[in-house]
Amino acid sequence: MAAMTAQTAALQPSLSPEEASQLAQLRAQRRARRRRESARLAQGAAQLEAPLLSLGQRMADRVAATMGSWRFILFQSAAIAVWITGNALTGQSAWDPYPFILLNLLLSFQAAYTAPAIMMSQNRQSELDRRHAQSDYEINVKAELEIELLHDKIDVMKEQELLALSQAVRDLSIELTTLTARLAHGA
């Protein structure tokens, strides 16, 4: 720590030893905070990975995946067409005559039982999406802090360069004054 303070003081001639020490402490605190944030983000990323799903959650996902597929829509459309055609062609002896009340009842049951399963799957997916968004936000905040630190470092480097240039101008001014005085006395 003392070596870093001496190095910092050597790099920044405008800072007093006390200020350089405080700057070194601040940098150490920043490093510790970054390590804590990195550990917390790693822990959050582990939570985003595939969590263990309960039987109900797996079933809800399967129902949602099945009901939300073109294969299911085409199969169900074909089954309804066969049902209607079969009942229409059998005439009076149809098992579900024309307003197709039994078909209506079956479709209502299907909707009543699949809707909650699909909602459970969507709720779980929205929770995962919320966690991903939170993780993205935390990563963006961390990136913003890192960029801010880089800006601070660049500002310090600019100040050092400006101080060095100012000192060089002072030295050259003194040298010019000295040379002018010599030439004035020598002539």
Tell me how far CA of residue 56 lies from CA of 62, 119, 131, 139, 163, in angstroms: 10, 12, 21, 33, 68
**What's this model's pTM, rounded to 2 decimal places?**
0.53
The pLDDT of residue 174 is above 90: yes
Token code pair at residue 99: 């307003």
| 26 and 96 fall within a common domain | no
Q: Which of 12-16, 38-42, 78-82, 138-142 has the lowest mean pLDDT?
A: 12-16
Range of the domain at 88: 56-166
Predicted confidence at residue 180, as pLDDT, reads: 93
d(CA 158, CA 166): 12
| 61 and 44 fall within a common domain | no
| 65 and 132 fall within a common domain | yes
| 81 and 31 fall within a common domain | no
| 63 and 96 fall within a common domain | yes
H-state helical runs in 55-100: 55-67, 70-90
| 9 and 61 fall within a common domain | no
The pLDDT of residue 83 is above 50: yes
| 144 and 112 fall within a common domain | yes
| 37 and 67 fall within a common domain | no
Count structural domains, the chain.
Answer: 2
Shortest CA distance to 63 belongs to which of 113, 29, 19?
Answer: 113
Confidence of residue 9 (pLDDT cuts 50, 70, 90): very low
* Residue, of 50 and 142, whose pLDDT is higher: 142
Q: What angle do CA 101, 104, 107 make, to 5 degrees?
A: 155
Structural domain includes residue 186: no
Confidence of residue 19 (pLDDT cuts 50, 70, 90): confident
Predicted confidence at residue 31, as pLDDT, reads: 82
| 38 and 23 fall within a common domain | yes
Structural domain includes residue 134: yes
The pLDDT of residue 176 is above 90: yes
Highest mean pLDDT, choosing among 27-31, 79-83, 140-144? 79-83
